[in-house]
Amino acid sequence: MTDINNAYGYFLHLMRCAIKNEQPQEKPENVALEQVYDIAVAQKLSNLLWYSVMRLKNKPEPELMMKWQTSYGMYINQTARQDIELESLYCVFKDNGIDVMPLKGAQIRRYYPQPDMRTMGDIDILVKVEDTEQGRERVRNIMYAEGYEADVLDDGQVDAFRKSDDIYVEIHYEFMAKHHKHYEDFIVDWNALEKTERDNVYAMSLCDLYYFNIGHFAKNMSAKGNAVRSVLDTYVMWSRMSDEDKESVNKRLDAIGLRVLNDRLVKLSRVWFDCEKGDDDSALLEKYFLTNTAYGHMKNTAVLDVLRTKGNDGEYSVFRKYLKRVFPTPSELYGRFDIKHKCFLILPFLWLWRIILLPFSSTEKKKKIKAEIDNTSNVTDSEIEFFERIYDTLGLDYTEY
């Protein structure tokens, strides 16, 4: 059982009680609820913990109670606005003859005890159109007509649009980018999807949703990483599946090398929510998830970039990292410039063109590059060792992600 005599432990306790609909223990004397609230905010779970806070006999101080209630109300309002927008987009795409499927949180929250326990940072929609420039342009024009502004275009398999601070939509043309190791393993078969009450809107079965969510987790591990909600989603869905479904999912994950990852996530989720006895691996992963933030952190990317510079001598080189940043691999270049017909003769021109374009990048992109350089320069040996252990424990080869 998790020790609740510290802020992180009490945070996990309140989260567990909310999901299990149990009466939480009162706050230990040496735990500051303000710190627990800060952890919940960083993990985007203050709305979930509100269910437990409301059941405490000794409520937080009025000021903190008001902050918590306001945070919960904000998420409720955001969720309502997202639901309305999602319904509107369903109709718009139907009018344009395009089939769609909501992804990630929009489907996962159906399996939570209460739908408002699972929030979404943005709206993710998979569209059934050809992943070509013509297909993308068609979807973009639809989004522009609905009042959206482009935020990120041609980002792998995704176009992102913004309408307001709390309405952000990612349009997915594929589940995984074509250059990703697991692209072939996570191609969505529209014929295997479940129909909904709307003619053009589809959904995944629980087994498929869980399987694809593990793929999403693996994808995130190649960038900013994952946090507590990934383990929470794992528990909520895994506990809903039959033994037969679990066996089926495990076979699929075994076939693509992600079985160890799933086993570790399930084990940790049982430590947190079913009070199973943990082990060294669980303790290591718990530290990782608790100290990350809901949507990951640039520091994760920086450490991962340094890890990928490991040479034959076993040493890491930040210089090699910068060299790879300036001169990315041919596959990365082809993807960046959407080159369909690959030819090594054009690679020098593509590398040169990237360098020429850099001074004309947006201020936001320049800030991002500067932050990336700062984060990479400050990577410590202990961070490198920690992340190596994390990847090894999850059964992931960081050189392939």
pLDDT in tens, 106-150: 999 999 999 999 999 899 999 999 878 889 999 999 999 999 999
At residue 312, does pLDDT exceed 60? no
Please report, for the domain that includes residue 157, its CATH number: 3.30.460
Chain Cα centroid distance, residue 279: 25
What are the tokens at 103? 């992804």
Domain that holds residue 386: 300-400
Total domain count, the chain: 2
Q: How far is CA 302 from CA 279, 372, 389, in A?
A: 28, 7, 16
CA separation for the pair 128, 198 (Å, rounded): 15
Please tell me the predicted confidence (pLDDT) of residue 322: 58
Helices (H), 22-132: 33-42, 46-53, 62-95, 105-108
Q: Among 161, 178, 204, where does a domain finish?
A: 204
* In-domain check, residue 144: yes
Please indicate, yes or no, if residue 380 is contained in any of the structural domains.
yes
Residue where a domain terminates, one of 204, 233, 268: 204
What pLDDT, on a 0 to 100 scale, did the predictor assign at position 314?
A: 60
Q: State residue 260's pLDDT score.
A: 98
Q: Which of 182, 204, 226 is the last residue of a domain?
A: 204
pLDDT tens, position by position, 12-52: 999 999 999 999 999 999 999 999 999 999 999 999 999 99
Q: How far is CA 278 from the centre of its chain?
A: 25
Q: How far apart (Å, rounded) are the C-alpha atoms in residues 121 and 32? A: 27
Per cent of the chain over pLDDT 70 is: 88
Q: Specify burial of residue 295 (Cβ count, 10 A radius: 0-12, 13-18, 19+).
A: middle
Q: Is residue 239 part of a domain?
A: no
| CA–CA distance, 185 with 218 (Å, rounded to integer) | 12
317 falls within a domain: yes
